[in-house]
């Protein structure tokens, strides 16, 4: 352990103490320290090098910039000496001016972000935003799922159910493809999701008991059904009182190649048709709306439909 004398020697230089006083409040870049202190970059950089050598500050790289902060892993003695030294000169003219300049520097930092978001206001969801992906958002939203029983009708490999199962009580994945059930079961075992169960069956005759699930989910599955209205009626049958149906599917379109490319039976559905099927099945509080539209041709639109079993 270095002797306290060494730290006291470092703190005896006014510029170094002013730098430490600023870093006590905020992590700052060299440019921000330069602006707050009104000193040249070379002078500040040389003093930072001595402070880093004395293990009183630490730095981190972010792109081309270096940011400095007080050493969080320093000794208790160093921390106490720094705090005492700053207190002893806290009423000095230099430190008062430094604090005022620091506030101006931080306001400028906030203003840069504010101006950016003001510029893109109303377009934020339409432009590319680094780190904002539907996959990431999905992982976040899953944490809002309560401990309920979910039926994923026409689940395929169960990509959505693999996420839901991390929060839900039980998730049943129903699919009429033996291979899909086999692959999904393997994924559930690999991810140690014991509450995720794959069942071979048709969404028009779901292998589940009456009033057994809290949520019946049909995600891009309804347009593969022979009789979509029957699948919706099955969702009603297996839902508990107070349970919900959630449908995510394509809006009615004219892209005929979808039958060949994706084995689609239906070319999507109109909002009116989905609404009428949900009401006919017995669901209340029915809501149907378009929630997205693809930019590339053929410009598929996605419909979200929900309802509650009273």
Could you tell me the pTM of the whole model? 0.62
**Residues 271 and 289 sit within 8 Å (Cβ to Cβ):** yes
- Are both 183 and 209 inside the same structural domain? yes
pLDDT average, residue stretch 24-36: 92
Domain termination site, one of 120, 155, 181: 120
| Residue range of the domain that includes 67 | 4-120
114 and 138 share a domain? no
Same domain (yes/no): 153, 296: yes
Q: Is residue 126 part of a domain?
A: no
d(CA 264, CA 116): 43
Within a domain: residue 17? yes
Residues 29 and 161 in one domain: no
Phi, psi (5° rounding) for residue 89? -120, 15
What length does the chain have?
310
Provide the strand spans (E) within the chain. Answer: 28-29, 57-62, 65-70, 149-153, 170-175, 196-200, 213-219, 239-250, 284-293, 301-308
Two structure tokens written together for 305: 């439909």
Sign of CA dihedral 293, 299, 300, 305: positive
**Each residue of 110-161: pLDDT tens digit?**
887 677 656 655 555 556 566 656 667 666 766 777 889 999 999 988 888 8
| pLDDT per position as a tens digit, 62-95 | 778 889 999 988 788 899 999 999 999 999 999 9
Where is the domain boundary, 120, 152, 181?
120
Do 111 and 244 fall within a single domain? no
The answer to whether 222 touches 266, Cβ cutoff 8 Å, is: yes
């Amino acid at each position: 352990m270095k002797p306290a004398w060494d730290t006291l020697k470092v703190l005896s230089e006014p510029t170094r103490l002013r730098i430490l006083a600023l870093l006590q409040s905020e992590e700052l870049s060299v440019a921000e320290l330069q602006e707050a202190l009104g000193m040249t970059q070379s002078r500040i950089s040389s003093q930072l090098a001595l402070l880093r050598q004395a293990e009183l500050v630490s730095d981190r790289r972010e792109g081309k910039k270096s940011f400095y902060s007080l050493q969080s892993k320093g000794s208790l003695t160093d921390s106490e000496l720094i705090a005492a030294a700053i207190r002893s000169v806290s009423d000095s003219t230099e430190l008062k001016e430094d604090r005022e300049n620091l506030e101006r520097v931080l306001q400028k930092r906030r203003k840069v972000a504010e101006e950016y978001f003001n510029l893109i206001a109303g377009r934020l969801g339409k432009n590319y935003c680094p780190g904002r992906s539907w996959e990431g958002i999905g992982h976040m939203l899953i944490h809002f799922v309560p401990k309920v029983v979910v039926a994923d009708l026409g689940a395929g490999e169960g990509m959505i159910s693999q996420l839901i199962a991390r929060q839900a009580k039980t998730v049943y994945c129903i699919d009429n493809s033996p291979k899909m059930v086999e692959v999904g079961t393997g994924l559930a075992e690999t991810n140690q999701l014991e509450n995720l169960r794959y069942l071979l069956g048709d969404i028009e005759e779901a292998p589940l008991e009456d009033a057994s699930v809290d949520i019946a989910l049909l995600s891009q599955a309804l347009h593969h059904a022979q009789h979509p209205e029957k699948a919706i009626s099955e969702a009603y049958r297996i839902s508990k009182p107070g349970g919900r149906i959630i449908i995510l599917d394509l809006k009615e379109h004219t892209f005929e190649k979808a039958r060949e490319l994706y084995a689609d039976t239906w070319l999507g559905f109109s909002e009116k048709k989905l609404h009428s099927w949900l009401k006919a099945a017995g669901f209340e509080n029915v809501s149907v709306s378009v929630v997205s539209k693809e930019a590339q041709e053929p410009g598929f639109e996605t419909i979200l439909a929900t309802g509650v079993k009273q």
